[in-house]
């Protein structure tokens, strides 16, 4: 099964740019991979607001999947080590393997889906790691990062 998957971060994007980007590529479902989707810093992307805006503006479904987020311990260690990306990446990939996300997540969930996190760019964000991990396990995932 060929899966067309997108990723996006909400920071450094006004709402118009964010929702337009999702609509233009035909996203059917936003898969929220944040550990905490209710942060006051999230603006328009807080859980209930985001689900409403996605449906009303673009007819897009919303689902929060915290199993695709790092643990608080991993996030805290990343901050404590002043952003040691190699350590973070290794810990998060090990976490996905322990969770066996390739068995618990259904490929259909991601078809025309978009992984949502906060980081503006994907190169230092776990949404990229999720996409790469699942592609290594399943194959057939074509990922496009919306920036």
3-state DSSP of the chain? CCEEEEEEECCCCCHHHHHHHHHHCCCCEEEECCCCCCCHHHHHHCHHHHHHHHHHHHCCEEEECHHHCCCHHHHHHHHHCCCCHHHHHHHHHHHHHHHCHHHHCCHHHHCCEEEEECCCCHHHCHHHHHHHHHHHHHCCEEEEEEC
CATH number, domain with residue 109: 3.40.1010
What's the pTM? 0.93
pLDDT at 42 over 70: no
Q: How many folded domains does the chain comprise?
A: 1
Give the per-residue pLDDT at 1.
73
pLDDT of residue 89: 96
pLDDT tier, 83 (very low <50, low <70, confident <90, very high otherwise): confident
Highest mean pLDDT, choosing among 5-14, 42-51, 72-81? 5-14
Give the pLDDT score at 41. 58
Domain assignment of residue 132, given as a range:
3-146
Q: How far apart are CA 28 and CA 62, in angstroms?
A: 9
Question: Across the beta sheet with 29-32, what order do the strands follow?
Answer: 61-64, 29-32, 113-117, 3-9, 141-146
């Amino acid at each position: 099964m060929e899966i067309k998957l997108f990723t996006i971060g909400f920071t450094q994007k006004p709402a118009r740019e964010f929702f337009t980007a999702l609509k233009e590529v035909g996203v059917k479902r936003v898969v929220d991979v944040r550990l905490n989707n209710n942060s006051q810093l999230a603006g328009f992307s807080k859980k209930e607001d985001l689900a409403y805006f996605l449906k009303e503006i673009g007819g897009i479904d919303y689902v929060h999947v915290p199993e695709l987020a790092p643990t608080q311990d991993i996030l805290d260690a990343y901050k404590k080590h002043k952003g040691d990306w190699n350590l973070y990446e290794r810990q998060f990939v090990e976490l996905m393997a322990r969770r066996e996300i390739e068995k618990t997540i259904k490929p259909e969930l991601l078809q025309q889906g978009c992984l949502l996190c906060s980081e503006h760019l994907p190169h230092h964000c776990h949404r990229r790691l999720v996409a790469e991990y699942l592609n290594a396990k399943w194959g057939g995932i074509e990922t496009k990062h919306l920036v």
